[in-house]
Structure 1
Amino acid sequence: MTQIPVLSDATPEEILKAGYGATGGNIALACSFSVEDVVIIDMAQALSLPLRVFALDTGRLHEETYEVADALTERYRIKIDWYYPRHEAVEQLLREKGTFSFRESLENRHECCHIRKVEPLGRALKGLDGWITGLRREQSTTRTGLAPIETDTTNGGIIKVNPLLEWTEEQVWSYAKFRRIPTNRLHSQGYPSIGCAPCTRPVAPGEHPRAGRWWWENPEHKECGLHRR
Structure 2
Amino acid sequence: MPKHEKGTPKEIANRCKSKGLQKLRWFCQMCNKQCRDQNGFKCHLTSESHQRQLLLFAENQNSYLRQFSKEFEGNFMHILRHTFGTKRIRANEVYQEYIKDKGHVHMNSTVWHTLTGFVMYLGSSGKCKIDENEKGWHIQYIDQEEEIRKSKAQQKAKNEKDDEERMNENSPASNRKSQARSSEDEVIKFAFQSTSKLKEKEKAVVVDTKSFMNEVKQEFKPDIKPRPSTSKAMVN
TM-score using structure 2 length: 0.21
Structure with max Cα Rg = 2
Question: What is the TM-score of this pair, normalised by structure 1?
Answer: 0.21
Larger helix share, 1 or 2: 2
* Greater RCO, CA 8 A, separation 6+: 1
